[in-house]
Structure 1
Amino acid sequence: MVSRKIIACLCEDVTKEEIQKAILLGYRDIESLKRYIGFGTGPCQGKQCVQFVREILLEMGIEPDIGMTSRPPITPVPLAIAAQEESDEEKL
């Protein structure tokens, strides 16, 4: 029988099994799990995976906390905007 990998964070390719192992190692809140594993640090900034991680915590009998600490930028900035050249007027 082939075991199937369940992806918890598509952006960072973190599996449900990796999250469960980290929880067993003592990382029992969203912030410490994020720092240890790296989920929620991709382009979606956790919008897709934090709820799934909360569900994993509940499955393992742990009441999930509020969530991750937001850090600027609060919303992802497209690379095209960050890479734009300043016009001569903006340089003044």
Structure 2
Amino acid sequence: MARKRVVCRCNDVTVEDIEALIDSGITDIEEIKRLLRVGMGPCQGRTCIPIVISILARKTGRKPEEIPLPKARVPIRPVRVEVLVGGGDE
């Protein structure tokens, strides 16, 4: 049995998942992020986004520095940290 090569542990995305999207013609990192949810887990892409960029570079023949980082989206309105960690009463 072949081992899964996991790129995004937060959302269980594999190298094969990313390569399949690229092979189907999707080469925009924003679109890959939306479809596979890479970079949207608790780590916010600290681990997976650099790996996704290297896979994109390898599969498309581009240099990693030519591939822009996906946009970060902050909450629409400020949220107190206590609410996020469960310590607030909101």
Paired with 1:85 and 1:21, the residues of 2 have a C-alpha distance of 44
Report what 1:81 is aligned to. Answer: 82
Higher helix fraction: Structure 1 or Structure 2? 2
* Structure 1 Cα separation of the partners of residues 89 and 4 of structure 2: 43
Q: Structure 2: which 5+ residue stretches go unaligned?
A: none
CA offsets 1:62-89 (integer angstroms, 9 cap, x no match):
425211111004xxx89x7114026xxx
Q: Which runs of 5+ in 1 are unaligned?
A: 87-92
The 1:62–1:35 alpha-carbon spacing in structure 2 relative to 1, beyond 3 Å, is farther
CA distance in 2, matches of 1:62, 1:72: 32
Q: Report the aligned-residue RMSD.
A: 2.1
The number of equivalent residue pairs is 81
Could you say which structure has the larger radius of gyration?
1
TM-score by length of 1: 0.76
Aligned to 2:40: 41
Aligned residues with identical type, % of pairs? 38
Counterpart among 60, 64, 73 of residue 71 in structure 1: 73
SS in 1 for 2:39: coil
Q: 1:8 Cα shift?
A: 0.6
Determine whether 1:7 maps to 2:29.
no
Q: Structure 1 residue runs of 4+, over 2 Å off?
A: 61-64
Task: For 1:43 and 1:62, locate their aligned partners in 2 and report how far apart those are by CA, in whole Å.
Answer: 30
The alignment's TM-score, normalised by the length of structure 2, stands at 0.78
